[in-house]
Structure 1
Amino acid sequence: MSTETILSLLGIYLFIAVGFGAKWTFKEKIDDRTITLLSVYFLQIFLTFWGLLKRPIDTELLFAPALYLGISLLALLLMIPLAKMLFDNPKERSIGTVAALIGNTGNLGIPLGIALFGEMSVPYLTLINLVNVFVVYTIGVFYYSRGEFSVRDSLINILKLPVLWAAIVAIALNLIGYIPSPAVDKTLMMGAYASMTMQLVLFGIYLYGIKLGEINLRLTAWVNGTKFVLIPVIAFVVLGMVEMDATVKGILFLELVVPLAVANVNLASLYNCSPRTVTVEVFTTSVVFLGIAFFLPTLLQMF
């Protein structure tokens, strides 16, 4: 693994450490709920606009993100009945169903993809991250809501989040050819980086409250298994059946195996779906991925 790849990973974990250290130092003076609301309802709007207006959406590039969505949905169809059999608690069932699908395709996937594949990967990484945004704020919102809300209320919760509407507006602006001025782009970029940084800091804050005795070993084993075994196997099978450039296959596979996104914690906190339990799952997949990352160049060469 290259030095640049290692630095990309360490830079992300640095901000997680900042959140952990802040909560350890100031304890209850830091309100994690307030930070969650600020991130989800305001700053992530900037991140959405900045990412979707960064470059024109080329329809020739849509096959890779379409495959990403197809593999994610196939994995979801397999996980729904399996999670229902394994977990009686509705919150655990929701986490077990959807958590592994919401990967860190943005904060980690994009810089790591650039480090491994170069700048030619940026259009693919951006569009795959766009698909993941919709997965997060539709399927993710629905299942995290289901831990405490009815089906009807969970569907309404999807429509309440401004990020989904911001994404729709941003896509419409992109398709009609709108290009932000340098001043507007700078403003959006500032908000986007603030959003990414705050999500990582929030993850560190939740990480502080974890107690080893409270870790759900069965749920943790299930989430890591689906993330690093089930989804990669599905990806290998599907990618082996399609004609596509080997490099693009590698980019797609990378985005499917990145660890859980901090967005899982945001949604779990927003809908009171055991956010500290979800934090454990995000953390453990991040640790496991550190080991897998050293073998990524070899794995990606298999395509």
Structure 2
Amino acid sequence: MQTLFSILGIYLFIAVGFGAKWAFKEKIDDRTITLISVYFLQIFLTFWGLLKRPIDTALLAAPTLYLGITLLSLILMIPLARMVFADTKERSIATVAALIGNTGNLGVPLGIALFGEESVPYTTLINLVNVFVVYTIGVFYYSRGEFSVRGSLLNILKLPVLWAASFAIILNLVGYTPSPAIDKTLMMGAYASMTMQLVLFGIYLYGIKLAEINLRLSAWVTSAKFLLIPLLTFGILQYVEMEPMVKGILFLELLVPLAVANVNLASLYNCAPRTVTAQVFLTSAAFLGIALALPAILKTF
């Protein structure tokens, strides 16, 4: 029940965005909100998360494995998506969407709900890895719908979040600790970023029409998210020596539904943002049912 309440509390802000767009229609400019979120507020979120506590090398096994499974899934998805989808934008979405999970806004609070506060160091570092996945692989594929390979690579370098994350890691490694005043400022920006991403998701959700949902793409993304990746993860974890709790956290972080960051990038690079929003919504709705069985699933580790 606590798991369900954690998820519903997050979904409340999605409802706020949906209601705001329903009430004010064109007065709300979703493109402007996207730019503010991606280019400004997410910098605060990145610094706050990466300076929260020292990076302990003993904790790096889980995020390293998370990255390895993500890259292995990407290698599998590239040829499969190329065979199934002819349209460049659809192929980009099919390749990368399922790999960008909501490890921050949903993964961190769910980790606390299921494993306690001792999960925070692991979920924080896994979310860090996911940030780099979002702003490297994610940017490359979502911008491929409108840009060449060279242009897509340049788009990665243009985003300030990647540079902010690199700088924050350097500060962490040299032992910098923000003062209480700076930490409070970063925290305010971080929570504003998380809230705005959820509200933005609700705004895009308002524009979805059931008749416009791409059923083939939706079936593909949902299957990849909740069948291919979990089965691959479960199989790999059987051969890895790791604490059961850490295995459970890793499995959870790879199972969480699509992140709102998918919508941000699809909107930023004009890669069918309404279509991507539908995928985020469908996986988020499906996860509500899966969440009820999560405690039983995680006990298998």
TM-score by length of 2: 0.99
Aligned-partner residue type, residue 68 of structure 1:
Y
User: In structure 2, what is the Cα distance between the partners aligned to 1:207 and 1:130?
Assistant: 27
For 2:207, the equivalent position in structure 1 comes to 209
Note the residue ranges of structure 2 that are not aligned, 5 or more in a row.
none
User: In structure 1, what is the Cα distance between the partners aligned to 2:290 and 2:246?
Assistant: 20
For 2:132, the equivalent position in structure 1 comes to 134
Q: Which of 111, 119, 126 does residue 121 from structure 1 map onto?
A: 119
Aligned-partner residue type, residue 171 of structure 1:
I
For 2:81, the equivalent position in structure 1 comes to 83
Q: Which of 3, 27, 50 does residue 48 from structure 2 map onto?
A: 50
For 1:273, the equivalent position in structure 2 comes to 271
Aligned-partner residue type, residue 179 of structure 1:
T
For 1:103, the equivalent position in structure 2 comes to 101
Runs of 4+ in structure 1 over 6 Å off: none
Deviation at 1:11, TM superposition (A): 1.1
User: In structure 1, what is the Cα distance between the partners aligned to 2:239 and 2:88?
Assistant: 36
Deviation at 1:6, TM superposition (A): 2.0
Q: Which secondary structure state, in structure 2, belongs to the residue aligned with residue 295 of structure 1?
A: helix
For 2:282, the equivalent position in structure 1 comes to 284
For 1:41, the equivalent position in structure 2 comes to 39
Deviation at 1:95, TM superposition (A): 0.2
User: In structure 2, what is the Cα distance between the partners aligned to 1:53 and 1:163?
Assistant: 15
User: In structure 2, what is the Cα distance between the partners aligned to 1:70 and 1:238?
Assistant: 10
User: In structure 1, what is the Cα distance between the partners aligned to 2:169 and 2:250?
Assistant: 21
For 1:257, the equivalent position in structure 2 comes to 255
Cα contact 2:39–2:159 (8 A) shared by 1: yes
Q: Which of 133, 150, 153 does residue 151 from structure 2 map onto?
A: 153
Number of corresponding residues: 301
TM-score by length of 1: 0.99
Note the residue ranges of structure 1 that are not aligned, 5 or more in a row.
none
Cα contact 2:4–2:288 (8 A) shared by 1: no
Deviation at 1:264, TM superposition (A): 0.1
Percent identical residues: 80
Cα contact 2:3–2:110 (8 A) shared by 1: yes
Q: Which secondary structure state, in structure 2, belongs to the residue aligned with residue 49 of structure 1?
A: helix
Cα contact 2:4–2:292 (8 A) shared by 1: no
For 1:92, the equivalent position in structure 2 comes to 90
User: In structure 1, what is the Cα distance between the partners aligned to 2:187 and 2:121?
Assistant: 17
Deviation at 1:157, TM superposition (A): 0.2
Deviation at 1:194, TM superposition (A): 0.2
Where do residues 192-271 of structure 1 align in structure 2 (5 Å cutoff)?
Answer: 192-271=190-269
Q: Which of 16, 19, 26 does residue 17 from structure 2 map onto?
A: 19
1:181 aligns with 2:158: no
Cα contact 2:6–2:110 (8 A) shared by 1: yes
For 2:110, the equivalent position in structure 1 comes to 112
Deviation at 1:177, TM superposition (A): 0.5
1:118-167 deviation line (CA, Å, top 9, x unaligned): 01101000000000000000000000011111000000000000000000
Aligned-partner residue type, residue 4 of structure 2:
I
For 2:29, the equivalent position in structure 1 comes to 31
User: In structure 1, what is the Cα distance between the partners aligned to 2:276 and 2:191?
Assistant: 23
Aligned-partner residue type, residue 255 of structure 1:
E
Root mean square deviation of aligned Cα: 0.5
User: In structure 2, what is the Cα distance between the partners aligned to 1:241 and 1:94?
Assistant: 32
User: In structure 2, what is the Cα distance between the partners aligned to 1:298 and 1:237?
Assistant: 17
Aligned-partner residue type, residue 275 of structure 2:
T
User: In structure 2, what is the Cα distance between the partners aligned to 1:184 and 1:8?
Assistant: 28
Aligned-partner residue type, residue 275 of structure 1:
P
User: In structure 2, what is the Cα distance between the partners aligned to 1:144 and 1:262?
Assistant: 14
